[in-house]
Structures are given as C-alpha cells and as structure tokens.
Amino acid sequence: MADQYARYGDGTRPAEIPAIRWDEPPEGPVLVLLDQTRLPAEEIELVCTDAPALVEAIRNLAVRGAPLLGIAGAYGVALAAARGFDVEEAATSLEGARPTAVNLAVGVGRARAAHRAVLARGGSEEQAAEAALAEARALHREDAEASTRMAAHGLALLDELLPGGGHRVLTHCNTGALVSGGEGTAFAVALAAHRKGRLRRLWVDETRPLLQGARLTAYEAARNEMAYTLLTDNAAGSLFAAGEVDAVLVGADRIAADGSVANKVGTYPLAVLARYHHVPFIVVAPVTTLDPGTPDGASIEVEQRAGHEVTEIVAPQVPMAGVEVGGGIPVAPLGTQAYNPAFDVTPPELVTAIVTEEGVVSPVTAEALAELCDRSRQV
C-alpha cells in the first residue's frame, strides 16, 4: 500500500535530498520515497508498505534512475521480508517492474540472496529479514561512495580533455541526487566541476516526453546554484553547431559487455552530434550498471511506454507519468499512435569514455570493460 506522507511545499524540506529512506514508525517498517512525479511543483513523500506499492511507484517513475532503482529494489525485498510477505514473490515482481536498468535486478538479487542465505543455514525469518535490510543498506551506502569516486574520476577526465577549464557541459535526463544514494553519476561530475569553479554552463536537455531534464535536473541545478540553461532536446544540434558544447555527460541504465550504452531516449542522437562536432561524449555509471551477461546493444531490452505520454503533455502540477489518458493536455488528434521507447542504445564507438568508481575506460572496448569488471569484483 502506498500513502502520501509529508508535504514540504513551504520550502522546509532539508537541503539534502533523501530520494529514498527506510523508516520504522510504530505501525511497522516502511520505504519512503520522494515522489519524483510531483517535482518540481511539490515535494511530497510517498510511503510504501508493501512490494506492490513499490512496483507501482517504479512503473510510474515516482522512483527512477538506474542506481536508485537498484537501491529501491533491495529495500523492497527487505520490506516484504520485514512485513512477513512472500519474499520470493515480491522479488520476482520487483525485478520485473522495469526491464532496462540492470541495477534493479542487481539490487533485488543482492537482498534476495542475503535473505535466502540466512534461511539456508537454518536462520529464522526475522534474521533473514534483518540480513535483507542490511544488504539494502550496504548497497545504499556503496552507491553513495561510488558517486563520490565517479565525480572525482569524471572531473579529472574533463580537466584532462579540456585543459582550458570553464567547461560547458550538456547533459540529458536526470542523473543527480535524485537517482542515487549520493550525488549521482553524470550530474555529480558537473557538480564537482561547479564546486571547483570550473563549470561555465550546464546545458540541460528537457528530455521529452516526461521531462526529467526540465523537472528534475533543472531542479537539482537550481538547488545547487549552478549556472544552467534548459533547452528543448531538438535545440541541441544548433547548440553544437554554435560551438557552445565542450563535452556531453550522461548516465546509463545498462552497459553491455561490448560497451553499448542504454540510456534515456535521446542519448544516441547526442552521441552522433558529439562525434560530428568532435566533442567528447562521456558516460558516467557505477559498476553495478555494467552487465557482462548482456553481450551487445541489440540484446538490451528497451522499455516501451504508453503512447499517451507522447500524445499528451503533462502540466507541471500533474504527475509526470502514470496519468490516465485524458489527464494531460492533448497535442495530437485523439487516437494517434505514438512510438515511445524509454531508452536508446549508443554504440561503443561513439563513446569517448566510460567513467566508473573503479576508474575510466577509454577507449571503450569489451576487453577493457571485462578487465574493469574483474577488478571491481576482487575489491
């Protein structure tokens, strides 16, 4: 069951953004999400008391972004265990909630394995639930640490590629504290540059159709007092042509063994533009987003979403997803069919570098990625 918890529309919400938190009120454990469908108009927390509520929140994008989906999935398993629901059933529904971000299955898998391990050695349900929660907390903490390290590696790379400083960076979708236990992936690099006085401008793609750039990245950039400018996705070409972009920084939902990068739809066109204009195209993602089990881009399942997300525009006061048909403002004749993939896939040859917490892979090759995966497993 999901319920709405608290509203901070009066600006009293703490400065740090708790995109997700575990809470234990007297009525029993809950998973509390900052409802991203309401941002930036309202800051409302959404309380999940069971896995079906969390599955719905994931599908509606109340909680979203690859690393945060992993953390949410792990807590979802812990929640089912703590409340005495069928953990295996909860895990299966959670990992299937959205198909593209591999982190979701990784997070669910880690908490489920911790739970199973305790039961397998004869532990009680209560001990198994505690183990699942400990694993979710560990993943949450590790993601925060990974975020700090990605920011440092990413900034060093930017400074190396663009020795003049004063970086003008274009980003797509939302990759900040709203998707992470820490400050995010690509956005964390831009934020690190801003803090060192080296970010001249953050160009923020609005990210049609659900406007994660306009609603969420602009929100995070404003909160951090960064110099940012919002543009429509189709204005990016003229921005490159005007020589206004020094680098592109994006996140990833899944990186296949060959280095193909699935990320928010509209990423691939940016990579093509970047190559044409000789601009570095940099992907920032934790190692949990690397998926050696998926051989190439063609093997990545791309989520297809409802057509009304394209045929209707949702007003800022209306949730950005999950609205019924007719909930937004129609921009196409009734009955219009829409092509609405949530992600696209960028081939490795267009990616200048992949920045992870374990280091930078450049050039992007299957061998270099495999080596990084092996190294990270040994740590």
Annotated binding site for substrate: 64-66, 98, 212, 263-264
181 binds ligand MRU (CB under 6 A): no
Scanning 126-134, 155-163, 246-254, 274-282 for contacts with ligand MRU by CB under 6 A, the matching segment is 246-254
* Least CB distance to ligand MRU at residue 243 (A): 25
212 binds ligand MRU (CB under 6 A): yes
Phi and psi torsions of 301, nearest 5°? -80, 120
Residue of 32, 173, 261, 354 interacting with ligand MRU (CB under 6 A):
173
Residues ≥6 apart with Cβ < 8 Å to 374: none
218 binds ligand MRU (CB under 6 A): no
DSSP code of 341? B
Scanning 1-9, 159-167, 172-180, 362-370 for contacts with ligand MRU by CB under 6 A, the matching segment is 172-180
19 binds ligand MRU (CB under 6 A): no
Residues 285-344 that bind ligand MRU (CB under 6 A): 342
Nearest to 43 by CA among 73, 71, 17: 17
* Least CB distance to ligand MRU at residue 372 (A): 18
Nearest to 51 by CA among 43, 42, 39, 59: 59
Clarify whether 253 is annotated catalytic: yes
If residue 89 lies in a helix (H) or strand (E), which one and from where to where? Answer: helix 87-95
Report d(CA 209, CA 229) in Å as an integer. 18
DSSP code of 324? P
Total residues contacting ligand MRU by CB under 6 A comes to: 18
What is the CB-side half-sphere exposure of residue 347 using CA atoms within 13 A? 4
If residue 375 lies in a helix (H) or strand (E), which one and from where to where? Answer: helix 366-378
Amino acid at 258: D
* Least CB distance to ligand MRU at residue 321 (A): 9
254 binds ligand MRU (CB under 6 A): no
Instruction: Indicate if the alpha-carbon torsion angle 24, 28, 29, 35 is positive or negative.
Output: negative
Scanning 46-54, 81-89, 220-228, 250-258 for contacts with ligand MRU by CB under 6 A, the matching segment is 250-258
Phi and psi torsions of 25, nearest 5°? -70, 170
Residues 64-123 that bind ligand MRU (CB under 6 A): 64-67, 101
Scanning 4-12, 15-23, 62-70, 273-281 for contacts with ligand MRU by CB under 6 A, the matching segment is 62-70
Catalytic position from the list 35, 143, 246, 253: 253
* Least CB distance to ligand MRU at residue 103 (A): 8
Residues 342-371 that bind ligand MRU (CB under 6 A): 342
175 binds ligand MRU (CB under 6 A): yes
Residue of 37, 93, 217, 263 interacting with ligand MRU (CB under 6 A):
263
Known binding residues are 64-66, 98, 212, 263-264
Report d(CA 249, CA 265) in Å as an integer. 14
Residues ≥6 apart with Cβ < 8 Å to 87: 77, 80, 81, 112, 115, 128, 132
Neighbours of 366 (CB within 10 A): 15
Nearer to ligand MRU, 30 or 39 (CB): 39
Report d(CA 247, CA 31) in Å as an integer. 37
Nearer to ligand MRU, 49 or 185 (CB): 185
Instruction: Indicate if the alpha-carbon torsion angle 170, 173, 176, 181 is positive or negative.
Output: negative
If residue 161 lies in a helix (H) or strand (E), which one and from where to where? Answer: helix 125-161
Residue of 37, 49, 185, 294 interacting with ligand MRU (CB under 6 A):
185
Residues that bind ligand MRU (CB under 6 A): 61, 64-67, 101, 173, 175, 179, 184-185, 212, 251-253, 263-264, 342
Which residues have a catalytic role annotated?
A: 253
